[in-house]
A and B are shown apart, each in its own frame.
Chain A
Amino acid sequence: MRRISNPTVLCGCLVLALGCAGNTNVGPGSGGSNGTSGTTGSAGTTGVGGGAAGDQGSGGSSSTAGTTGGGGNVGTGTGGSAGTTGAGGRGGAVGGGGRGGNTSTAGTTGTAGTTGTGGSTQCTITATTTMSTKIPTVAIVTFTSSLSSMTSASIDFGLTTSYGMTAPVDLTQANYRTLLLGMKAAKMYHYRVNATSSAGTCQSQDYTITTGALLAGLMKPTVTPTTATGLYGGFLITGQYQGNPTTAYILDADGDYVWWFSIGGDVTGARMDYAGTHMWINSANVPSGTTRVHRVSMDGMTDEDLSSQFTGLNHQLTVLPDETVAFYAYNNTAGCDDIKERAPNGTVKTIVNSGTALGVSGGCHCNNVQYSAGDNTLVFSDLDHVMVAKVSRTDGSTVWTLNDTASSKNLTGATWAGGEHGLHLIDMTHILIFNNNSTAGMTSKAIEVQLDPANKKAMQTWSYDGMIANMIMGDVQRLPNGNTIVAYSTKGALHEVSSNMTKLQTWTWAAGQTIGYIEKRASLYGPPPK
């Protein structure tokens, strides 16, 4: 079936002021007075297309003055003729002998042009859908279109014909192959394709698909309250550390599973790449045992086991924009983990040994690494020494340390105890830290530290205590709307809190189900928010 869009004039419209005619003069008299000129019509506003932006509306042209009424005939001169479009016509000229024409009515003010919508065009779009055989909530859409020279395309999809989610289409893909990501299990979804060229945008008919069943054992977390003002929404990417089945997974804002994939062991790290086409998944590997790292296409159809390139990796990894992967790996000789990178071509290099970077001796226990694009550095944490450090990617040199009592690189003024796990680099001068605070009777905290490297200072500026003691793992993320999510990983709990530390929502996993590091995204397409 195909749908042909209705041809519609969608440019920014122009409404002209209409000048009223002067009335007919009757009999001899003086000429009518001049009518008032119509005012200039307002410009049309910029049009917003159905998909593409509409052309800017043309400005309303000045209303045309009414033409001068003809003079009344002498004696029985008739009135001036009506002004035409535009401002009111001037009154009829003085009639020779006849009664003057009446004053003509002023032209009305021109109305502003209405907002233009995108230009539409006619084409046929024929779409075909299959469900991934690996992940039954992922639909694979391909389509053909009669639209020539397509410049962009997208697919709207959702539980109703109001859709609500949009998948961008990569025009370089064969048959415009596109994944619909973010759908719940065992639900019927609607979708339609939008294709745009210089001629305009056309849409397909509405299609429906039904997603497959949820994988047995994936128990939805309890979300309390189910909704609240100020929540960020979006999707949560994490993995099941303990419990069965151990999968990387994505939950939507309702806490429903929309994506999952097993790599054959526990999952503590799950990160989508910047292109949004692959998920990097790893196992905890704590204590040192089996390294497990997979790169999985989002349709689940391609599963690359890259474990041999990540020997000794533990906890989590970080994906850089070019899909270089930063991680840390056990170094049994040095006692402290090596901070490493795996390039997209598979080569692996050591940036620096964490003990060297921290200036410490004895063992280390690195448990998080993040990428700082602003200065091309990596920031990592070490549980054993309760420290965080920033190192240069180019030469491994230490830029600064936090919570350090010995190093000259230390930024003084912000301290904490009891270890840490997840980090979030909010920007160049702010970092969020999940402080395990593992002391009997204490509870874990999320703390924000403001950094002042120029003056070697740091200051805690924000914290949140969810009254949960989480000794192992734990993660934090500042969201674009200012909220913060705090993951009590091995307690199977997650809080979303506002900037004023008000808990907005709690997610609680079933007993025995614990989670790994976390990341929230507004969309499952494109680069991550952090």
Chain B
Amino acid sequence: MKIRSVLSAAVVSLPLLAAACSSSGGAQPMMCYGANPVASEVNDYTFMSTFALPPVTVKSMANLTFDWGSLTMDFLKHPLSATADVNTVTVLIFGPGVPLSSLAPKLNSDSLSATDVYASPPPSIMPSGGQTTAMLYDFTLNGTAIPMAMFNSYFDPTVLTPDKYSFMVAAASGTTIGQGFRMLQTFQLDASSSNTMIKLTNDSTQLSYSANLHSLTITGVPGGTAALTLDWSAMVAAGAKNGLGATFKDGYVTNAIVGHYTETPAELEAKFLDLNLIAKPGEYYTAALTSSTMLDFSTLKDMSSGAPFPGIDSTGTWLLGLICGNCRNPAPWYMTILKPCMM
């Protein structure tokens, strides 16, 4: 269990200024904040996730084959087309200081930094024409060919020793190197191995998680209107924790979502990785933010139709999420439940 940090008085006091409201009908508390609520930890959810990255062993200094043709799901268990959705395949070398044993922990804590990626930009290939396999020596550095000798020097475990370095292949959607990862497969090099095949399967990355939406204080806002804002600058100023337990820093939140669901909060916790898929049709609203500390709800548009956000109503469950689009962990930094409430 993640334990929330002690908040500064500034952050704690903000919800106390809000008018008391009727409860949400259950044990979950709710506070009415008017049209311009200020985000706080008490209104935020909590999320924990764990990656497991079982490696395969392959021959070192060899022209390895990468095969992602059997992929049908990504590590979020979302459907994936191996031919249509895998747009970039990248080989990542981590280290020094990132052996295989510390790679998953660093991913879990979202503490993997650019300096941990040894070869940067990493070798990559962009499949075309339904391609589902690629040979290592065909990978390039941003389109620039890599000499075979250079590949072999980097894929030599006597040079990049396993106590300091680790290797991974990543299948991604989109063509921005380092983003949009859908499946990860680690591998380790062994001169005595005869295996040169690395297959990415639905189990190459095993993700377990827990989301808690039932302990937060519901954010009460006026219903039926998009004339709402949410300001999280106080959380930034106070160094408050985000839903993942990390410091809520300025500039990190890039996107916001508001979704309307028929499910209860408890049911949504169980389907947390599918929030973008299970929202009521035409009621999954997104916004790319310009301000780093405030959401103007009138900028939200339905992702499929582009229809503007009309405001919330009293049916089902409304979720608001703030997302760090540049972070490795895609889980929202902030997520709260919205309910109509008049001050």
Contacts and interface: CB of A to CB of B under 8 A. Distances in A.
Interface stretch (A40-48, A216-224, A327-335, A455-463): A216-224
Chain A contact surface mostly: loop
Interface residues of A, number: 38
26 contacts: A186-B293, A212-B291, A213-B293, A214-B292, A215-B291, A216-B254, A216-B290, A219-B249, A219-B251, A243-B326, A244-B326, A287-B143, A440-B154, A440-B156, A440-B160, A441-B153, A441-B160, A469-B119, A492-B115, A510-B113, A510-B326, A511-B112, A511-B114, A511-B327, A512-B178, A514-B114
A510 B327 contact: yes
Contacts of A186: 233, 293
Chain B contact surface mostly: loop
Given A244-B254, A470-B120, A492-B113, A215 B233 contact: no
Contact of A244 (B117, B142, B325): B325
A219 B96 CA distance: 25
B141 interface: yes
B118 interface: yes
Interface in A272-307: 286-287
A440 B159 CA distance: 7
Contacts of A493: 114-115
Contact of A218 (B159, B176, B292): B292
A216, A441, A490, A510: which has the most chain B beta carbons within 10 Å? A216
Given A216-B292, A440-B160, A510-B326, 15 more contacts: A185-B250, A185-B292, A214-B250, A215-B251, A217-B254, A242-B178, A244-B254, A287-B144, A441-B159, A468-B115, A471-B121, A472-B121, A488-B115, A512-B178, A514-B114
Nearest to B113: A511
Interface string B210-231: 0000000000000000000000
A244 B142 CA distance: 18
B35 to A, nearest CB: 19
B294 interface: yes
Interface size class of B (residues with CB under 8 A): 35 or more
Contacts of A467: 96
B289 interface: yes
A353 interface: no
Contacts of B290: 215-216
A213 B326 CA distance: 18
Contact of B115 (A213, A439, A441, A491): A491
Contacts of B251: 214-220, 257
B64 to A, nearest CB: 16
A513 B142 contact: no
A508 interface: yes
Interface string A196-240: 000000000000000011111111100000000000000000000
A509 interface: yes
Interface string B69-82: 00000000000000
B253 interface: yes
B325 A217 contact: yes
B291 A216 contact: yes
A511 B112 CA distance: 7
A286 B143 CA distance: 9
Given A441-B160, A468-B115, A512 B292 contact: no
Contacts of A214: 250-251, 291-293
Contacts of A492: 113-115
Contacts of B51: none
B117 A219 contact: no
Contact of A512 (B114, B154, B291): B114
B328 interface: yes
Contact of B120 (A216, A286, A514): A514
A218, A488, A510: which has the most chain B beta carbons within 10 Å? A510
A471 B293 contact: no
B164 to A, nearest CB: 9
A351 B141 CA distance: 30
Contacts of B176: 242
Given A219-B326, A491-B120, A509 B291 contact: no
A244 B252 CA distance: 10
B188 interface: no
A16 B321 CA distance: 76
B204 to A, nearest CB: 21
Interface in A448-485: 467-472
B120, B156, B254: which has the most chain A beta carbons within 10 Å? B120
A364 B118 CA distance: 25
A175 B132 CA distance: 65
A212, A219, A508: which has the most chain B beta carbons within 10 Å? A219
A216 B289 contact: yes
Nearest to A490: B120
A225 B47 CA distance: 30
Given A220-B251, A244-B326, A440-B159, A490 B114 contact: yes
B325 A439 contact: no
A186 B249 CA distance: 14
Interface in B99-149: 112-121, 141-144
A257 B156 CA distance: 41
B95 to A, nearest CB: 9
A217 B256 CA distance: 12
Contacts of B250: 185, 214, 220
B273 interface: no
B179 interface: yes
B153 A439 contact: yes
B250, B252, B327: which has the most chain A beta carbons within 10 Å? B250
Interface string A384-411: 0000000000000000000000000000
A509 B114 contact: yes
A213 B296 CA distance: 13
Contacts of B325: 217, 244
B197 interface: no
A512 B177 CA distance: 9
Contacts of A242: 121, 176-178
A92 B119 CA distance: 97
Contacts of A491: 114-115, 117, 120
B222 to A, nearest CB: 24
B289 to A, nearest CB: 4
B153 to A, nearest CB: 4
B120 A440 contact: no
B44 to A, nearest CB: 18
Nearest to B164: A441
Interface string A155-192: 00000000000000000000000000000011000000
Given A510-B327, A511-B113, A512-B326, A286 B142 contact: yes
A287 B251 CA distance: 30
Contacts of B118: 469
B112, B113, B117, B288: which has the most chain A beta carbons within 10 Å? B113
Contact of B179 (A439, A470, A512, A514): A512
B315 to A, nearest CB: 31
B213 to A, nearest CB: 24
9 A-B pairs closest in CB distance: A492-B114, A440-B153, A216-B289, A214-B292, A213-B291, A218-B251, A441-B159, A217-B254, A287-B143
Contacts of A219: 249, 251-252, 326
Contacts of B294: 213
A260 to B, nearest CB: 10
A503 B141 CA distance: 30
Contacts of B154: 440
A215 B291 CA distance: 5
A472 B325 CA distance: 24
Contacts of A441: 153, 159-160
A509 B327 CA distance: 12
Contacts of B292: 185, 213-218
A493 to B, nearest CB: 5
A286 B253 CA distance: 29
